[in-house]
Amino acid sequence: MNFTNADLQKEVTYKTSRSGGKGGQNVNKVSSKVELLFAIDRSVLFSEDEKTLLLSKLQSRLNKDAYLQVMCQQERSQYLNKEKALEKLHRILTRALHQPKARKATKPGKAMIAARLANKKIQAAKKQNRKRNFDD
């Protein structure tokens, strides 16, 4: 699971196009929008089990050709958009590979049980004091 952006860089394909938004005349003449494509099933960075896990968790993010697609057009320069797209891909893959620790079932301690029972007695006494007394 230890992979770096440099490792990912070797396995991704970039497509560039003109982006909208800020940039003025720059937007009309420079292809600064970056579309990053990553084929999980052809990657040499991950084991078969990791590939299966990634494909199942990221199934909704895959396009029809089974590429993981990440787009970035925030910055005005193509280089910065490539860097941001690569970081985003790294975050997505890391989050998908993360497996949370299994929760261990535990019993409440004696102090916790005593505190709960004491609180119940206080509540019961409070309710008892609110009752009207019809002994007259």
pLDDT along the chain (136 residues), means of 10: 79 84 70 90 90 91 90 88 93 91 93 97 93 70
Give residue 23's pLDDT.
Answer: 62
The rounded distance, in Å, linking the Cα atoms of 128 and 131 is 6
Give residue 104's pLDDT.
Answer: 93
- Specify whether the CB–CB gap between 81 and 75 falls below 8 A: yes
CATH class for the region spanning 5-97: alpha beta
Residues in contact with 73: Cβ distance below 8 Å, sequence separation at least 6, in sequence order: 19, 20, 21, 32, 33, 34, 81
| 27-49 residues labelled b (16+ CB within 10 A) or e (exposed) | beeeebbbbbbbebeebebbeee
